[in-house]
Amino acid sequence: RLANAVTPLWRLPYQEQLQVKYESQRKILQTLASRLEELGIDAQKPGGLCCPLQPVVPSPIINGYRNKSTFSVNRGPDGNPKTVGLYVGTGRERNIVCVKANHVENIPSKHKQVAQCYEEFICRSPLDSCILFHEGGHWRELVVRTTSCGHTMAIITFHPQELGQEALATQKALLKEFFTCGPGAVCALTSLYFQESTMTRCSHEQSPYQLLHGAPHIFEDLLGLKFRISPDAFFQVNTAGAEVLYQAVGELCQATGDTVLLDICCGTGTIGLSLAHRVSKVIGVEVVEKAIEDAEWNAAFNGISNCEFHTGKAEAVLPQLLASWEDARPLVAVVNPSRAGLHYRVVRAIRSCRSIRRLLYISCKPEGEAMRNFLELCCPPDPRKKLAGEPFAPVLAIPFDMFPHTVHCELVLLFTR
């Protein structure tokens, strides 16, 4: 049941998985074409698509490709309330159970090993797991990040409840001892982090990640560059797939030596930095402060001097940045937002900036909020929504299989005007 929930396509041969994904992306482009027709835009291309769709680009690695896994702590099928794994069931049906992920094919063995050790640690602990905040308990989720350089970072979330600083210090010392001198030492962690959190999700600014052991960062090699990764920084979960994706993005940008690349939702700067040698300047925008610190370090370490990075919400930073844009150089935008898509103020700023003639939208869920963005980019000027400027048109779609065995795809849509 867990394999079917997390990796629904795992039983299919890989070529069949790619075909399933191609069909789902085709339906998305048909939907976009229909929605554009409703707006009075003649968008129907052969097959009822809004633009040509290329075959799904396969992932170079099919099994164990994830470089980041998040494990929950909850009751297992045997009733053990300290099971570390992934969820099966739904809250609505009240049949949630936490199942060990040992057999899930997209998770590497190192992640499974750390999860098993964490379960062993919390089972020894006199403190309860925190299943529902109001019912007490402390031990919560585990995030494991690994890199092709052999680095492993573990981040443990802990609900402090009413514990004082002394009791917290004791728990941190026990965790460190277990993973450095005890049974957890087999994991050979590069970094062990601890975060006290009274919320479901907590940023570093809300509750700092506390380094209990090892180095503050792990490092990844990508397209000949070295990247530093902080606990909460975004990095594509499939590193080998990301290399293929970013190379294609570079070609689709059609960047020349005088191009300025605008990298919106840039994370640790991977896209911009990997393309910096092709362009005159890279401007990155990212909301996560630590990710921008990583991006700046990455630029300096790799000897890249034509990049500037801005911290803040894209909807706050970008309108200011583009409103005063007077640079005559061609401006190409690459956007890689979360599933929530781009804020409408970001779309408005992009449309209003005449210099942007080419836009690459990378979406991990194009049928979701990204669809709203596609329509906002392509619709006729709409004074009610303050959408001015010449509309964009979709000209090419390329899906990348960043998530083998799952139904998800990363879709790159090229828009021009």
DSSP 381: P
Q: Would you call 326 exposed, middle or buried from its count of C-beta atoms within 10 A (0-12, 13-18, 19+)?
A: exposed
- Report which of 361, 151, 163 is spatially closest to residue 245, judged by C-alpha positions: 361
pLDDT of residue 45: 76
Token readout for 48 is 């009822």
DSSP 384: G
Residue 412 pairs with which residues in a beta bridge? 362, 398
Q: Describe the crossing of helices 14-38 and 369-378 by its angle, rounded to 10 degrees.
A: 50
The tens digit of pLDDT for each residue in 115-132 reads 999 999 999 999 999 988
- Report which of 223, 312, 306 is spatially closest to residue 264, judged by C-alpha positions: 312
pLDDT of residue 363: 95
List average pLDDT for each run of 10 residues in the chain, which is 417 residues long: 95 98 96 92 82 97 97 95 92 85 97 98 95 89 96 96 93 97 98 89 79 96 93 90 96 90 93 94 91 93 96 90 85 91 91 93 92 93 86 96 96 96
The response to whether 286 counts as a known ligand-binding position is: yes
Q: How far apart are CA 264 and CA 247, in angstroms?
A: 17
Q: How far apart are CA 281 and CA 235, in angstroms?
A: 22
Which residues are tagged catalytic? Answer: 364
What is the set of domains in the chain, with CATH numbers?
A: 14-60+238-416 (3.40.50.150), 68-216 (2.40.50.1070)
Q: How far apart are CA 28 and CA 410, in angstroms?
A: 12
Amino acid at 109: S
- Report which of 131, 121, 308, 287 is spatially closest to residue 204, judged by C-alpha positions: 287
The DSSP secondary structure of 321-378, one letter per residue, reads HHHT----S-EEEEE---TT---HHHHHHHHH-TTEEEEEEEES-TTTHHHHHHHHHH
pLDDT of residue 40: 87
Q: How far apart are CA 344 and CA 337, in angstroms?
A: 12
DSSP 103: T
pLDDT of residue 189: 98
Q: How far apart are CA 342 and CA 90, in angstroms?
A: 29
Q: How far apart are CA 81 and CA 97, in angstroms?
A: 10
Find the radius of gyration of the CA atoms of the chain.
Answer: 23
Distances (CA, A) of 233 to 212, 335, 381: 19, 17, 36
The response to whether 296 counts as a known ligand-binding position is: no
The response to whether 336 counts as a known ligand-binding position is: yes
Other Cβ atoms less than 10 A from the Cβ of 337: the count is 20
pLDDT of residue 184: 97
Q: How far apart are CA 237 and CA 57, in angstroms?
A: 16
Amino acid at 66: R
pTM of the model: 0.91
Q: List the 210-214 sheet strands across, edge first.
A: 97-99, 83-88, 68-74, 139-146, 152-158, 191-196, 210-214
Token readout for 273 is 């930095």
Q: How far apart are CA 334 and CA 273, in angstroms?
A: 12
Question: Which segments of 254-333 does DSSP mark as H helices, in order?
Answer: 270-275, 289-301, 314-323
